[in-house]
Structure formats: C-alpha cells, structure tokens
Amino acid sequence: MHRKLLIGALAASATLALTAGAAQATTTADGTASLEATAAPSKAGTASKPKNVTLGFDLSVNRPGTSVGQIVLDLPKGLKFSGKGLKKCTATNLQLNGPSVCPAGSKAGTVGSAAARLEPGNTALTFNVYPFVGGDTKILFYLVQTDASGNEMSSGIQSVLTGKITNKGRKLSIAIPQELRQPLRGLDATLTQIRATFKGKVAKHYVVSSTGCKGGKWSIKSTLAFAARSDGAAVPGAQSITDPVTCSK
C-alpha cells in the first residue's frame, strides 16, 4: 500500500452545478469550513416510488495545523444512500488495477476532486477521486494524484478509501488511517477541499434516492472529526456544517 496523505480528507468527489441553498460556513478560533450541497431533482419521490437523485457536496476547509481522522455525511429523512441492486467493484481490484476494471454499473458518481496541504512546508496536493459501489452498504473512493496541470501522475499517490453506509442509508462515514494522515515521520496532511457528486442507477436501484420532503428542505450535514498529529498540535473538537437544500413533495 502506498504511503499517502490527503486521503485524510477524501469523502468523495466532483461538484455539480445544481440548484441549492446558499453555502453555510462555521468559524472557529483556528479557521473556517464551508459547505455547499446540491440535490436534483428537488421534487421528492415517495416510499413506494423513490426518485433517483444526483447529490453534490463542495466542502472547503481552512484549518491549518489539523488532520481529519473521519468524514461523515448525514442525510435527512427523505434521502438515502444505497449500493443494493447495483454492480460492485472491490477495493483490492481498484488498488491493483485502477478504475478501468470496475463495471460501468458500479459507478457511484462522476469523477471528483480533493486537495490537501502537507505540513510543515505548505506543499499542496491535488487528486482526482473516482467513486464506486463496493457493496450494499459500502462506497469506495479511488484517489489518484494530479500535477499542477490537472494530469494524473502514474508515479504519484494512488489509494482506496472505504465509506460505510449506516442509519438506514442516511449516514456515510469515511475513516482516515494514520498512515495516510502522517505519510512520513514528522509530516502531517491537512484537508483543504473536497468536491463530490453521488449518482448512479441500475434498473430501479439508485446510489441516492428520495422518498419524501419535510418542511420544504433537505438539511444535509458534513462533520469533520480531527485526529492526533505527529507535531503534537492540540486536537480540536469535531466540526459540523449543515446546508439546507430546497425540496418539494
């Protein structure tokens, strides 16, 4: 397994310009984070006739001196993630052979992006992120490093992260292992941005589906849990950001 970094920030990828509420931001003494969520179509399905939804996240983080240990995406009632009924790809196959080996029906979204900064040194790192269905309750994210021109680097960092779906499809949790948060002794990675779009279907099975809308909005939340660093910096408490997306019955 390669020794990578950012991955302490992945949670998915690709941003999609869909209609949504204004981006929300939270501020701490150490910095800020902002989230813009999107969902289309905004008219919800029902329990008996769910609708296929394209769900987008654009998360920006300005928290120098921190490393993300876990990323959690929480959906409200009326929206859910699922890999049931879709084609599957395995983490082992992705790691060894890359995204070209995965069945087309296993795609969990469009190619996204992620960015991180190495500290000390302030070296920027950028990645393309490919999401795939890894199981009924699992989404895999294949990261490949890109250069300053956006080209994928064959000799760069390549890694696979696993997102676990729980809470009846309303929670997606992505844990970041220490070897990725601290790729080398004395070196820490800090997340700066992730952009993700989830969508996909096989017959009437959807990566994200809607079954209802309450109060005219879907409140979508992202939570960052921070982890210990090699530089011994104090670990801040978890930071959550919620963005309301307009919906209708």
DSSP string, 31-47: EEEEEEEEEE--B---S
Q: Under a CB-based contact definition with an 8 Å cutoff, are residues 44 and 248 in contact? A: yes
Residue located via tokens 């390549």: 158
Q: CA 232, CA 236: separation in Å to the nearest integer?
A: 12
How does pLDDT run along the chain (249 residues), one tens digit per residue? 343 333 333 322 222 222 333 456 665 545 688 899 999 999 999 999 999 999 999 999 889 999 999 999 999 999 999 999 999 999 999 999 999 999 989 999 999 999 998 999 888 889 999 999 999 999 999 999 999 899 999 888 888 999 999 999 999 999 877 777 887 788 898 888 999 999 999 999 999 999 999 999 999 999 999 999 999 999 999 999 999 999 999
The confidence score (pLDDT) of residue 181 equals 84
The confidence score (pLDDT) of residue 177 equals 75
Task: Report helix, strand or coil for 169.
Answer: helix
The confidence score (pLDDT) of residue 23 equals 52
Q: Which two tokens stand for residue 120?
A: 């000390």
Q: CA 53, CA 93: separation in Å to the nearest integer?
A: 28
The confidence score (pLDDT) of residue 203 equals 93
Q: Which two tokens stand for residue 156?
A: 């760069």
Beta strands 158-166 and 188-198, pairing class? unpaired
Q: Under a CB-based contact definition with an 8 Å cutoff, are residues 110 and 121 in contact? A: no
The confidence score (pLDDT) of residue 18 equals 29
Q: Where are the domains of the chain?
A: 24-246
Residue 32 corresponds to which amino acid? T
Considering just the CA atoms, what is the radius of gyration of the chain in Å?
17
